[in-house]
Amino acid sequence: MDQRVSFVTLTVRDLERSRRFYVEGLGWSPVFEDGDEVVMFEAGPRLVLSLWRRSAFDAELGLERGGGAVAGGVPPITLAQCVRSRAEVDEVLALARRAGADPVTSAVDRVWGGYSGYFADPDGFRWEVAWNPGPLGQVVLPDAEVE
Amino acid sequence: MDQRVSFVTLTVRDLERSRRFYVEGLGWSPVFEDGDEVVMFEAGPRLVLSLWRRSAFDAELGLERGGGAVAGGVPPITLAQCVRSRAEVDEVLALARRAGADPVTSAVDRVWGGYSGYFADPDGFRWEVAWNPGPLGQVVLPDAEVE
């Protein structure tokens, strides 16, 4: 598995409040927004910081207490690595399974047009392995140009 | 405040177990290690992923339940931004305070040779603002060369 983080996602309770803090308070500029669901910022070369509405995060990852590898549920963040193809998603998830990751969820087609699955590291931190054909999925790949 | 993440730090319960997972399991190579305290990986251009022993994290950030902005305590990660000087650390913390961050902890000298303080975003996620004179603190700065 490449040694790369492409996205850092934080789950937020009130997306509008968080947007105000980062945009008006800290002076950041979003690179992508989708209504009351998500706000994304370029946070480095090939890196995106994403703020994601908690209910959507919960629905995809299961934050419910008792359901995760860590006492109290799944940690309220994900790290993601974007890869170049659907096949590479499956390969990395298989590697994680061999490495002892538990749980590993098989990849599925996502409404945003990509294909991804998750594995948990030893502390329950979820890594999403994603093939993302959209523009943001491409700029984070290792051969994308950086300033 | 620059729109950048320099370090992503995950708190881990058993550093040796986590190290095995990332190094032997996933095939990653550490860029820095300090005994049973911390293991760091370059995870992108100007980005470091750090695994930090939970007791050390707790001592610095206070993971104790009831002590943080979020029910259940401080989230078990930090994001950090490295800046160029002590003065810039203080400036960014002042900006965060004006933006409504709560709590904001004044910067102090750190045993690793730098100077840093923390602010909490609206969900309690802790940002460390750090001047780090060491090699890792330099390679994550915006004008550092990337491949």
Q: A25: nearest CA in chain B?
A: B99
Tell me the torsion sign for CA atoms A19, A20, A25, A29.
positive
Percent of all residues in chain A with a pLDDT value above 70, rounded to a whole number: 92
B123 touches chain A (CB under 8 A): yes
Residue B30 burial (C-beta neighbours within 10 Å; 0-12, 13-18, 19+): middle
B11 touches chain A (CB under 8 A): yes
The domain ranges of chain B are: 7-139
How far is residue B80's CA from residue B48's CA, in Å, rounded to a whole number?
A: 10
- The mean-pLDDT minimum among A59-68, A107-116, B138-147 falls in A59-68
Q: Confidence band (pLDDT; 50, 70, 90) for A32?
A: very high
**What letters, b where the CB count within 10 A reaches 16 and e where it falls short, cover A106-116?**
ebeeeeeebbb
B145 touches chain A (CB under 8 A): no
Give me the CATH topology for the region A7-139. Answer: 2,3-Dihydroxybiphenyl 1,2-Dioxygenase; domain 1 (3.10.180)
- Please tell me the predicted confidence (pLDDT) of residue A69: 38
What confidence tens digit (pLDDT) does each residue in B23-74 have? 999 899 999 999 889 999 999 998 999 999 988 888 887 765 433 334 456 7
B108 neighbors B129 (Cβ within 8 angstroms) = no
**Residues facing A104 on adjacent strands:** A119
Count of alpha carbons within 13 angstroms of residue A96, beta-carbon side: 28
Q: How far is A97 from chain B (nearest CA, A)?
A: 9
Q: Which of B74, B11, B59, B60 is nearest to B39 (CA)?
A: B11
What confidence tens digit (pLDDT) does each residue in A68-120 have? 334 456 788 899 999 999 999 999 999 999 888 889 999 999 988 999 999 98
Nearest to A75 among B76, B96, B121 (CB): B76
B28 touches chain A (CB under 8 A): yes
B147 neighbors B26 (Cβ within 8 angstroms) = no
Q: Confidence band (pLDDT; 50, 70, 90) for A8?
A: very high
Give me the total of CB pairs closer than 8 Å, taking one residue from chain A and one from chain B. Answer: 125
